[in-house]
A and B are shown apart, each in its own frame.
Chain A
Amino acid sequence: NAGVTQTPKFRVLKTGQSMTLLCAQDMNHEYMYWYRQDPGMGLRLIHYSVGEGTTAKGEVPDGYNVSRLKKQNFLLGLESAAPSQTSVYFCASSPPGKAIAYNEQFFGPGTRLTVL
């Protein structure tokens, strides 16, 4: 199993450009999450999904959109990138069904995004 993979690993954008980050998991997990991580601020939840075709807002959703058309994929879109969106983006997934599952998330390797 590859686990959770993210594409791309690095990206540099100019202000106003758009892009899509792809997250894929091969563990048949129902729940998927997008976080951003900035120095000294831990992990902040952007959006999440509890199943195919469903999405919900997290702590910092402004400026981002997501889609979960297939169970194994969770896409994060930036419609008009801003320098404030320079960050490391992590995708994670977890299976439902047991209490511990909600607390054990499996993370991808991250995407390092710079917006100039």
Chain B
Amino acid sequence: GQSLEQPSEVTAVEGAIVQINCTYQTSGFYGLSWYQQHDGGAPTFLSYNALDGLEETGRFSSFLSRSDSYGYLLLQELQMKDSASYFCAVRVPRNEKLTFGTGTRLTIIP
């Protein structure tokens, strides 16, 4: 099976940088994804890492290290609207399913 660990809560200051970590244990591996969910809203896709390294999309970047079974989401120039829950998710080979972590609630303070 698969299990993913994330910190349950993170607080950061507006304008700063924050990193949300995700460690995983899987019987196989085929990519790490990140989703954002605002309170009362639906999850929305942010990024996907199939290979080791950094993927950048505007203020958001995602990193993967397969050898360490570890990834992170990096948010820069934090804005109040970035307050949300962030979920990492993994997919195993020959499988159409994603397994989600329990999520990290990010709170941005002025």
Contacts and interface: CB of A to CB of B under 8 A. Distances in A.
Given A48-B96, A99-B50, A100-B50, A43 B43 contact: yes
A42 B102 contact: yes
B48 A107 contact: no
Interface string B89-110: 1010000111111110000000
Nearest to B101: A42
Given A41-B102, A99-B31, A104 B45 contact: yes
Given A42-B100, A42-B101, A45-B97, A102 B43 contact: no
Contact of A90 (B42, B96, B101): B42
Contact of A106 (B45, B89, B101): B45
A16 interface: no
A77 interface: no
B16 to A, nearest CB: 26
Contacts, number: 59
Interface SS, B side: loop
A1 B103 CA distance: 29
A4 to B, nearest CB: 8
B33 interface: yes
B87 interface: yes
A103 B33 contact: yes
A61 interface: no
A83 interface: no
Interface string A41-54: 11111001010000
